């Protein structure tokens, strides 16, 4: 497991380039820093300065090599590299609250921005006028959009929001693409159509469960959503420490699992049946989905425990420690054994894609980035089996 500490400030979001030699990250302020891998160390090569509010989302298109950023200043910028420097193009999102997250579509001909204005802006490039324009998906969103993920067909868009709902919308833009074919989530796809809506992960885990916020005995803000490689499955994590998975089909099945951990902030598929999630507990966890039983199970903590050297301690010291700190340990500070020393805010797949991931990356509030090797984790932890 490689760990690199970039900054003292938290890393609020990150994105990788196509060959994984450069990473763009936001050090919890108005700027985006681009680092290049140089042997074992990372060197800063660019600073993108245009936003005048905190940067809340970054995405890097692998094929067209364009970066899109969005921020609390209610703007998005598309950055293109010209003669070695990055040039921004402003995208007017027509929102009156902060933008929260941004994602390029798989074909890179449009991107989606979720915001606090209770809407999603789908932005595409209009050739005649040579500018970026956007269309809004508004109904039935009732709160801030926290996370977005595109279906591999470039049309469907999953969104998680603060109204405890995870939804799948059609983001079909007739100006830039052909009519889409049917999918397990539905066949009629006019722009803005809701093809799936769930209650909070704990609220009504039934087929296509739909329930208003606060009803159904559970739920929480949906922090992260992720489609599987095939696009037939959708996973999401909520603030009530639940992980849920929906499988598209005529009767859409939803299975959810309440975890014993603190809330999970991010989730990604690493195979068609396995998801990795992480959050306030500072380590990634594995969840495995059984398609035959339509059930989600806890797969294990993905953290290789460090062997702490135990030094002899006298009875007197032991009781002094108990008296002072309600702990028998000798260390003066409370030490975390995990690789990250604060909440993990984002997970991204590095190698192998979502169908057979071999490496994934986490960044967190401790200003560090960890790269996890799936094979090493499997061999180091005897009970761990990733299917």
* pLDDT, tens digit, 9 for 90 and up, residues 228-249: 999 999 999 999 999 999 999 9
Q: What is the pLDDT of residue 216?
A: 34
Q: Which residue has the tokens 């425990």?
A: 305
How many angstroms separate the CA atoms of 247 and 224, rounded? 17
> Is 244 in contact with 198 (CB distance < 8 Å)?
yes
**How does residue 312 score in pLDDT terms, banded at 50, 70 and 90?**
low
Task: Using the predicted structure, report yes or no on whether residue 386 has a pLDDT greater than 90.
Answer: no
Task: Using the predicted structure, report yes or no on whether residue 325 has a pLDDT greater than 90.
Answer: no
> Is 86 in contact with 48 (CB distance < 8 Å)?
yes
Higher pLDDT, 250 or 137: 137
Q: What is the pLDDT of residue 81?
A: 97
Beta strand 156-161 with 359-364 is: unpaired
Q: What is the pLDDT of residue 215?
A: 38
pLDDT, mean over the chain = 90
367-380: per-residue pLDDT in tens?
999 999 999 998 88
Q: What is the pLDDT of residue 307?
A: 55
Nearest to 13 by CA among 30, 26, 1: 26
Of the chain, the percentage scoring pLDDT greater than 90 comes to 79
**How does residue 250 score in pLDDT terms, banded at 50, 70 and 90?**
confident
How many angstroms separate the CA atoms of 3 and 372, rounded? 9
Q: Indicate if the alpha-carbon torsion angle 99, 4, 38, 376 is positive or negative.
A: negative
186-230: per-residue pLDDT in tens?
999 999 999 999 864 444 333 344 433 333 335 899 999 999 999
Classify the phi-psi angles of 332: left when phi > 0, otherwise alpha if psi is within -120 to 50, otherwise beta: alpha
Give the Cβ contact number of residue 238 at 10 Å. Answer: 29
91-138: per-residue pLDDT in tens?
999 999 999 999 999 999 999 999 999 999 999 999 999 999 999 999
Q: What is the pLDDT of residue 347?
A: 98
Task: Using the predicted structure, report yes or no on whether residue 146 has a pLDDT greater than 50.
Answer: yes
Task: Using the predicted structure, report yes or no on whether residue 314 has a pLDDT greater than 90.
Answer: no
Nearest to 344 by CA among 385, 295, 291, 303: 303
How many Cα atoms are found within 13 Å in the side-chain-facing hemisphere of 206?
Answer: 5
How many angstroms separate the CA atoms of 327 and 335, rounded? 12
Q: Indicate if the alpha-carbon torsion angle 103, 141, 219, 154 is positive or negative.
A: negative
Question: What does DSSP assign to residue 380?
Answer: H
* Integer-rounded Cα radius of gyration of the chain: 22
Nearest to 225 by CA among 69, 83, 347, 49: 347
Q: What is the pLDDT of residue 382?
A: 72
């Amino acid at each position: 497991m490689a760990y690199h500490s970039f900054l003292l400030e938290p890393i609020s979001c990150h994105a990788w380039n196509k060959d994984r030699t450069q990473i763009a990250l936001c050090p919890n302020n108005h700027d985006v820093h681009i680092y290049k891998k140089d042997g074992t160390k990372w060197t800063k090569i660019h600073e993108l300065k245009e936003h005048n509010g905190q940067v809340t989302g970054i995405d890097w298109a692998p094929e067209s090599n364009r970066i899109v950023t969005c921020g609390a200043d209610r703007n998005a910028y598309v950055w293109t590299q010209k003669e070695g420097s990055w040039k921004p193009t402003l995208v007017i999102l027509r929102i009156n609250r902060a933008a929260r997250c941004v994602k390029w579509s798989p074909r890179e001909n449009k991107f989606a921005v979720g915001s606090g204005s209770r809407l999603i802006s789908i932005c595409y490039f209009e050739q005649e006028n040579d500018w970026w324009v956007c269309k809004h998906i508004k109904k039935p969103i009732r709160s801030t959009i926290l996370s977005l993920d595109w279906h591999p067909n470039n049309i469907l868009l999953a969104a998680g929001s603060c109204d405890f709902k995870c939804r799948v919308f059609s983001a079909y833009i007739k100006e830039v693409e052909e009519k889409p074919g049917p999918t397990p989530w539905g066949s009629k796809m006019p722009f803005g159509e809701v093809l799936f809506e769930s209650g909070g992960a704990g609220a009504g885990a039934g087929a296509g469960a739909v329930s208003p916020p606060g009803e159904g005995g559970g739920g929480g803000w949906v922090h992260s959503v992720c489609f599987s490689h095939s696009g037939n499955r959708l996973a999401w994590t909520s603030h009530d420490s639940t992980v849920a998975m929906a499988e598209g089909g005529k009767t859409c099945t939803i299975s959810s699992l309440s975890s014993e951990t603190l809330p999970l902030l991010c989730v990604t598929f690493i195979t068609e049946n396995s998801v990795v999630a992480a959050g306030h507990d500072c380590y990634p966890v594995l969840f495995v989905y059984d398609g035959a039983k339509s059930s989600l199970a806890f797969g294990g903590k993905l953290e290789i425990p460090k062997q702490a050297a135990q030094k002899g301690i006298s009875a007197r010291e032991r009781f002094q420690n108990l008296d002072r700190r309600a702990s028998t340990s000798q260390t003066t500070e409370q030490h975390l054994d995990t690789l990250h020393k604060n909440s993990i805010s984002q997970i991204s797949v590095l190698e192998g894609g979502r169908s057979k991931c071999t490496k994934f990356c986490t960044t967190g509030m401790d200003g560090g980035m960890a790269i996890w090797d799936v094979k090493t984790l499997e061999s180091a932890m005897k009970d761990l089996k990733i299917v």
